[in-house]
Structure 1
């Protein structure tokens, strides 16, 4: 399956470089590029790509604003945010807006291509440095890993912890189902229950919660 991608970055050299990099992958197809946030939203709504690769800082709308607008107008499109600095305070608003992943611009081309594939398949991707920043912005230090023998963390069942751990590692619902030998529908139900039980805003926020509480480790 070919993954259709829209690029959004205010620097032409970055857009051109990303287009060349992604175009070299047989299963990725760059279907458009935007130079600012407002243009990015219009382009995504027009072409409906599988993934929107969005710079965190752009004129007009920043990455958080683009993410919110895309999630509202084209919820089927997955947003992968690129940030120059992991300590950018705009990371958390983008998370709350519903971005499916975050990478810093010093990531490798191979990792970026893999991240786009993961996000397109329904998974989440968080760069390690961004994960640490999300923990800091959430206002709590990373907790020690929960006791596996207890099987319970903050009122979660042992199975919910299993699902949460795999989701936080970036696995899609289908991959998680295969690992746990259950149906994909069962995993989806667990994820929805986790989001509701923990009071978080969507799957990326769920991933951040898992890393903050030591479950993802």
Structure 2
């Protein structure tokens, strides 16, 4: 009962903080040829911008990270070089972006999809250094708009460790359900990610192709 009460307080606080944001935001993309649409949110962490586009049933999350070459917290309109999601903020990536003379910064894309409920297994896709780009512009109406034509993500599969399932027990299951409720209510992802959360990467790999990606959100 105590944990349920704490969860309700957390949910109320989260909803009050995020749930009332006017949302004319739009995100659309083809994931391996299948349409995906949702309402994105943005998070600014220091000089980095995260755009997070999430949904439930199944849990899905597409995250876009943007950083400009000036390394300030101002997002500059223009073309961004898409780089390795695991090692984005490297000297080599910044040098390549600067050397071209046409890039305003670098971008990262990460895709996560729940493939077995409740968050038992995941499919993950991460951008690579494939010389792909994303175009960013700021409209007069105060909206940030971005688009990309095609991005090939390196795909991997993750499964919850038996030890995490056994020792986590009811508490771990309850936490998963709470996270799902927060994601559904606020639109922000709440732990939709297997890495570092008690999951093991499987041997199987593949590619996840994102095409005709577009998002529009209020700054």
TM-score, normalized by the shorter chain, greater than 0.5? no
The TM-score with structure 1 as length reference comes to 0.24
Which of structures 1 and 2 has the bigger CA Rg?
2
Larger proportion of strand:
2
Structure possessing the higher relative contact order (Cα contacts under 8 Å, 6 or more residues apart): 2
TM-score (norm. length: structure 2) = 0.24
Structure number with higher helix proportion: 1
